Amino acid sequence: MKLSILHHLKFQLFLIAFLIAVWVWIFSPGIQIQWIFLISMLLITGIPHGSLDFYIEQSQAAVTGTSFSSARFMVRYLVNMLLYGICWYFFPFIAFLIFILLTAYHFGEIDWPFHHSGRLNTFIFFSVGLFFIVFAVAAHAKETASVLTVITGKVVQEKDWLLYSPMLLRYAGAALLLLVCWVPVYLYRMGYPFFQIVAWSLQTIAWCIFIYVMPIFVGFAFYFGAWHSVLSFNLIRQQLSLPPDFSGWKRLIIKALPFSIIAFAGIGMLVFFHFSVSHLDNGIAYIFMGIAILTLPHLQVFTRLVQFVARSASEVK
């Protein structure tokens, strides 16, 4: 028997997002409360959802009957992080652009429920992810400009971010509107169910509105920490064949805990290093930089997981 809509994870997350919006509207939390909310979401789900990459690749190897080496996985993972970290240190603006592209791809593929082979399919979900990120950053330029200035090594100054953000916001908004109008037609011609297409369109519009009206640290924290991370956790849970109940989620969290602690320690060392060297007071920028360094190897693992799940689903059909 099919579950009612109340039992669907996405609906539950949207309901929580609505309650968050009501909380912000009634209490108008100050910047310190917003930062606490952001850090809490990063610690509880944001960073831990990327701490299961080892088990993802191990599980895929077991299913496909291929060899898996823990040492080889760790070395490859750490080398990718090291090289990207060096890039951030010497070429911060280039590393920032790479991070935006990686994040656009990663966010897009998680939000995209219509995975099939073909470059156009990849281009669509990448475009949605890219314009959504630009829209979110540009819509809150006053809060994000100083952070962007720090993580790009001051290649672009705060005043320039503030100057060009209205233009970026208009272009990103127009691009998202165009995609929401055109993509459903494309999907319908591809034979996807009408209800599923409408659900994706409403979901995209709803997140744009939520990000636009919420304070950036609350809006981004919930989108990344709850929506993106919990959906990713759920995909990993399915891959590891864990039950969709409390025991399954508990086992998933326990598995993520050791690697999460290592990630927390690494980001903490990065923040401490930059404080001690440059005495900059924008610690949130270095937290995002640490997350960015973790993103490169995580995206490589997770993209293979999404492709693996998509292939498995098509074989079942």
Question: Tens digit of pLDDT for each residue in 200-241?
Answer: 999 999 999 999 999 998 999 999 989 999 998 888 888 888
Of 196, 212, 80, give the one whose Cα is nearest residue 136.
212
Check residue 279 and give its pLDDT: 43
Rounded distance, CA 153 to CA 278, Å? 12
Contact 164, 141 (CB under 8 A): no
3-state helix, strand, coil in the chain (%, to 5): 85, 0, 15
Tokens 């993209």 belong to residue: 303
Can you give the residue ranges of every domain in the chain? 9-15+29-316
Tokens representing residue 238 in the block? 């399915």
Which residues are CB-neighbours of 148 under 8 A, at least 6 positions away? 96, 137, 156, 158, 161
Check residue 1 and give its pLDDT: 38
- H/E stretch holding 100 reads helix 92-111
Rounded distance, CA 156 to CA 159, Å? 8
Q: What parts of the chain have a pLDDT lower than 50?
A: 1-3, 6, 277-281
Contact 86, 277 (CB under 8 A): no
Check residue 65 and give its pLDDT: 80
Residue 13: exposure state from Cβ atoms within 10 A (0-12, 13-18, ≥19): middle
pTM for the full model? Answer: 0.86
Of 285, 243, 262, give the one whose Cα is nearest residue 50.
262
Tokens representing residue 49 in the block? 């959802």
Check residue 2 and give its pLDDT: 44
Tokens 């799940």 belong to residue: 309
Contact 63, 271 (CB under 8 A): no
What is the dihedral sign for C-alpha 129, 236, 261, 36? positive
How many secondary structure helices (H) and strands (E) does the chain include? 13, 0
- How far is residue 106 CA from its own chain's centroid? 6
Of 196, 200, 35, give the one whose Cα is nearest residue 108.
200
Rounded distance, CA 20 to CA 159, Å? 31
List Cα–Cα distances, 3 to 6, 8, 9, 122, 270, in angstroms. 8, 7, 11, 30, 45
List Cα–Cα distances, 220 to 108, 139, 317, in angstroms. 15, 12, 36
Which DSSP string do the residues of 219-253 spell out, in sequence order?
A: HHHHIIIIIIHHHHHHHHHHHTT--SSHHHHHHHH
Of 105, 165, 11, give the one whose Cα is nearest residue 302.
105
What letter would DSSP give residue 2? P
Contact 56, 239 (CB under 8 A): yes
